[in-house]
Structure 1
Amino acid sequence: MNYFPIFANLKSRRILIVGGGAVAARKVLLLLRTGAIITIIAYKICFELLSFFKKNKIKWLKTGFKEKYLDQVFLVIAATNDRSLNEEIFIASNKRCIFVNTVDDESKCSFIFPSIIDRSPIIIGISSGGFAPVLSRLLRERMESLLPIKLGVIANIAKTIREKVKKKFILSSERRFFWERLFNGSFSGQILSGNINNAINILNKEIMTPQVSIGEIILVGAGPGDAGLLTLKGLQVIQQADYILYDFLVSKEILELVRRDAHCVYVGKSSGIKGMSQQDINELLISLAKKGKKVVRLKGGDPFIFGRGGEELMFLKKYSIPFQVVPGITAAIGAAAYSGIPLTHRSYAHSVIFITGNRTNNKLDIINWSQLATSASTIVIYMFKANVDEIYKKLIIYGFFKKTPVAVIEQATTLNQKILIGTIANLPNLSLRVSYPSILIIGEVVKLHKKLKWFN
């Protein structure tokens, strides 16, 4: 261990920075968050430092470095391009047992700045000991994506009830169990989704009736297939879940991102294959929530676009189960983007219409096909393959031109993506050449595929 990690309280401490360039400005920008008293020594300072000085955020000594300026200083940063001056500052600081950092010269540092993840009061520092700072930065970026922005809010609220929890739970084991249940339960989930009042109510119930666990259901859209299209919040949520109830359209790559000790339960249905009934899915969600579990209902695409998300939430609402929704990129958006087909374009289409080709409840009969034929909109039909013959007949009967361009896209956004371009006239034949899942795009925008295709 080349450097021992220490978190220093710099509030109202004196910090001396020698140098007035962009590097010094970056250090000042970081240190101002700590409440430190910052003094700059330089004959000239950059625009950003001058702005801080004019706002009385820093002090500026328009002079050269002298050892006397180290009096009552807590930390020193040498940020000049003069190596001999930096060495002088390093030696003088060491003589006075003052921690010193010399920018870009690890041999002249008694402390170094880590890559910092700031979720105040939660702070995470990452360091390579000066060996590979770019690697530290990349690790920080990866961890940033996993840690919710509102993590600090959870910690701040926890601080306000620490004494109350100590009085309520005498044994340390009881307190630890309480905090673990609180942070893993719907209290945290409600804060992360912005429902502070709901979170406070859950918190009060947990303190008053700690034996009752409160579960939560989170409806998450997994996107159209490419794991990189899962939203940042979706990634955070699935890595916190106790149970994942996932559909047929959720890719293996996304399931690989799930926490290793979580229970993954397949509840999906695909064309021609009967899966778990919706009633059984609803009852399983209620059962797990009543056991205090954090459950993610993971759906392909977006749960509110032909995903029956609204139906499941209505069921949860009836039983007063806490829930939240994390939207996903719906299949139409993903398929169009990865096919180079903009769904709207000023020269081709000013609107887009999403339709389901699923025949349940006679949905195809209640669609106003004649209005679609005259709308000049791009039309996207989900789940079209099983009923393609009926869809084709309605398109022709209600006035669509047979030469209207169409795109049939199979397994959109994945490495197995397949795109077939044609017209309405040969739609039935195109559908025979694709499998599930597939989506149909109808409209003049399809002509742009040849010019704008980019994903192979």
Structure 2
Amino acid sequence: MPSTLPILLKDQKVLLIGGGNVALQKAEVLADNEIKFRVISQEINSAIEKLTDKLIQKEFKLKDIGEEYIIIDATGNPKVTKKLLKYKKKHQILLNVVDQPKYCDFYFMALTKNRPLQIAVSSNGASPTAAKYFRDQCEAMIPEDITAYLVQKQKERDHGLICIQDTIKELKFKSSKVYLVGCGIGDPELLTLKAYKIIQNVDVVLYDHLISNDIMALVPKHTLKVFVGKQKGYHSKSQDEINALILHYASQGKKIARLKSGDPFVFGRGAEELMVLTQQHIDTEVIPGISSSISAPLMGNIPVTARGYASGFTVVSAHLRGNRINLDWIDLLAKENHTVVVLMGLSRIKEIVDEAIKLGISSHKPCAVISNASRPDQKILTTTIEHLQRDAEDMPRPAIIVFGDVVTFKTQLTGVENEQIAASF
């Protein structure tokens, strides 16, 4: 391969010879990079006419070369190439003969977007496809707001404010990205396609005990996996410590996925993490997930709404910051045609039942507990408020509690199934 030296030329004067599809490709590159050029050709593609108004429709002659010192031969005509090679012996020009590397003084590189920070990739003419592939890889690394950042850095440079260490630190934060990924209720087949792709392609994964083993099995072996706990009754990372960990890896320019059970914004503290990351100007994307508040009842054939059973539903958490209990929603249990789904309430069943009885809620109100929804060890319990504390004693976490007539839908469904079985005999 010949030795090359990539350089940037200012105030280019370019002559493009040819008007077909090959010439169009070169014209598009020149136009995309805001480089002015002339075109000479007997026939000119109408798409080229939209890219420049400097068009001469005629057969090319050497005398047509004006002040241009960069000439692109996109004709595919050996006679034109021969004339240009002869002309180059006596004139200082840079010649590019498309698809003829041996005659080229320069190659067209695969360029990222035209902005203050631009990356050019060249295969020295060997494989434009390879150059474009790695161009796209480089493009993906450049932050979208890089233009504004470089404008600010130019202002600092103009005032003599240059600190390489600070700039490197800033760029690492800018090149990092954090994904708050909703992982649903545990079954990996219930992940969104986007969540799956992110899990497969980040540098670091932060997870807790609510993320199933099956989903963790999707994380590539080379990915750094950091357990952050958050399990009730065990010493684990506080939310502040988790935030600090995310920032730590972001400061290294890593791509990070914080895996969240269910949906990040349904009692998942995703909003808190998003706020911290936004305050630090870190690129963050929230990936929706299937919330257990809706999908866990579904796994037990309990609809949160159904005609004749419930026309609306409420999702609440029985757990507040500082291990405090939330019982402000208990009065909703008295509402007719309404479903109440309680997250993080299994350990608070005694207080829930006591408060319900205190407020005069019927002890016969149907309720259900769904544990480990969608997982191999899924368990479903249907009972009433009167027997909830006793019946749910051995139900494992994670679990949700459902209150409302929709719980009886499961019983009605079972009755229909039994009738169908009996009718088949």
Q: Shorter-chain-normalised TM-score: which range?
A: 0.5 to 0.7
Conservation of the 8 A alpha-carbon contact between 1:241 and 1:259: no
1:305-344 matched pairs, under 5 angstroms: 305-344=266-305
**TM-score normalised by L of structure 2:** 0.60
Tell me the amino acid that sits aligned with residue 354 of structure 2.
K
8 Å CA contact retained: 2:367, 2:383: yes
Q: Which residue of 213, 219, 226 maps to 1:265? A: 226
- The 1-side partners of 2:117 and 2:388 are apart by 69
Does 2:127 correspond to 1:166? no
- Classify the secondary structure of the residue corresponding to 2:263: coil
Greater helix share, 1 or 2?
1
What residue in structure 2 maps to residue 387 of structure 1?
348
User: 1:241 Cα shift?
Assistant: 0.7
Q: Secondary structure at the match of 1:270?
A: coil
SS at match of 1:234: helix
Distance 2:398 2:286 in 1: 24
Task: Give the counterpart of 1:200 among 144, 153, 162.
Answer: 144
Q: What SS does structure 1 have at the residue aligned with 2:319?
A: coil
From 187, 201, 209, give the equivalent of 1:248: 209
Residue 433 (structure 1) aligns with: 394
Deviations 1:97-127 (A, max 9, x none): xxxxxxxxxxxxxxxxxxxxxxxxxxxxxxx
Q: Partner amino acid for 1:201? A: D
Query: Relative to 1, partners in 2 of residues 1:404 and 1:167: Cα closer, same or farther, differing over 3 Å?
Result: closer
The residue aligned with 1:299 is 260
Q: What does residue 223 of structure 1 align with?
A: 184
Q: Distance in 1 between matches of 2:333 and 2:111?
A: 53
Distance 1:159 1:432, change over 3 A: same
CA 1:321/1:375 → structure 2, altered by over 3 Å: closer, same or farther? farther
Q: How does 1:356-371 map to 2 (within 5 A)?
A: 356-360=317-321, 364-365=325-326, 367-371=328-332
Equivalent position SS for 2:201: coil
Deviations 1:202-244 (A, max 9, x none): 4775999995332111100100111111111111111111000
Q: TM-score, normalised by structure 1?
A: 0.56
Give SS of 1:432's match.
Answer: coil
Counting only pairs closer than 5 Å after superposition, residues 50-129 of structure 1 correspond to structure 2 as none
Secondary structure, counterpart of 1:288 in structure 2: helix
Q: Which amino acid aligns with 2:289?
A: G
2:314 to 353, 356, 368: 353
Determine the structure 1 residue equivalent to 2:375: 414
Q: 1:421 to 1:391 in 2, by over 3 A?
A: same
Q: Identity of aligned pairs, percent? A: 34
Q: Distance in 2 between matches of 1:337 and 1:374?
A: 22
CA contact (8 A) 1:221 1:328 kept: yes
Match of 2:196, SS state, is helix
AA matched with 2:145: N
**How many Å apart are 1:451 and its aligned residue?**
4.5
Kindly provide the CA deviation profile for residues 71-110 of structure 1, in whole angstroms up to 9, marking residues without a partner as x. Answer: xxxxxxxxxxxxxxxxxxxxxxxxxxxxxxxxxxxxxxxx
**Which residue type is aligned with residue 166 of structure 1?**
A
For the residue of structure 2 that corresponds to 1:223, the secondary structure is coil
Match of 1:402 in 2: 363
- Amino acid of the structure 2 residue aligned with 1:165: I
Q: Give the residue type in structure 2 aligned to 1:200.
A: E
Query: What is the Cα deviation at residue 268 of structure 1?
Result: 2.3
SS in 2 for 1:261: coil
> 1:137-195, CA deviations, whole angstroms, 9 ceiling, x for partnerless residues?
xxxxxxxxxxxxxxxxxxx9947679942399x9xxxx999865653x4x5xxxxxxxx
Per-residue deviation at 1:376? 3.4
Q: Contact between 1:405 and 1:443, CA under 8 Å: does it hold in 2?
A: yes
Distance 1:270 1:388 in 2: 18
- The DSSP-based 3-state class of the residue aligned with 2:214 is helix
Structure 1 residues 406 and 224: CA distance shift in structure 2, 3 A: same
* Offset of residue 385 of structure 1: 1.5
Partner of residue 28, structure 2: none
Task: Name structure 2 gaps, 5 residues minimum.
Answer: 1-20, 23-109, 125-131, 154-163, 418-425
Shift of 1:200: 3.2
Could you tell me which amino acid in structure 2 is paired with residue 407 of structure 1?
A: A
Match of 1:378 among 339, 347, 353: 339
Partners of 1:341 and 1:452 within 8 A in 2: no
Q: Do the aligned partners of residues 163 and 358 (structure 1) sit closer, same or farther apart at CA in structure 2, a change above 3 Å counting?
A: closer
* Structure 1 residues 283 and 163, CA gap change in structure 2 (3 angstroms): closer
Q: Tell me the alpha carbon deviations over residues 24-77 of structure 1, each in whole angstroms, 9 at most, x when there is no partner.
A: xxxxxxxxxxxxxxxxxxxxxxxxxxxxxxxxxxxxxxxxxxxxxxxxxxxxxx
- 1:271–1:386: 8 Å Cα contact kept in structure 2? no
Matched, 1:239 2:200: yes
| Counterparts of 1:204 and 1:260, CA distance in 2 | 37
Letter in 2 for 1:356: S
The question of whether the paired residues in 2 share the 8 Å contact of 1:241 and 1:294 is answered with yes
2:249 to 288, 292, 299: 288
The answer for unaligned runs of 5 or more in structure 1 is 1-10, 13-155, 188-198
Deviation at 1:448, TM superposition (A): 1.3
Bigger Cα displacement from structure 2, 352-361 vs 268-277: 352-361
Relative to structure 1, the CA distance from residue 157 to residue 362 in structure 2 (aligned partners, 3 Å threshold; closer, same or farther) is farther
Contact 2:202 2:255 in 1 (8 A): yes
Residue-pair matches, total:
285
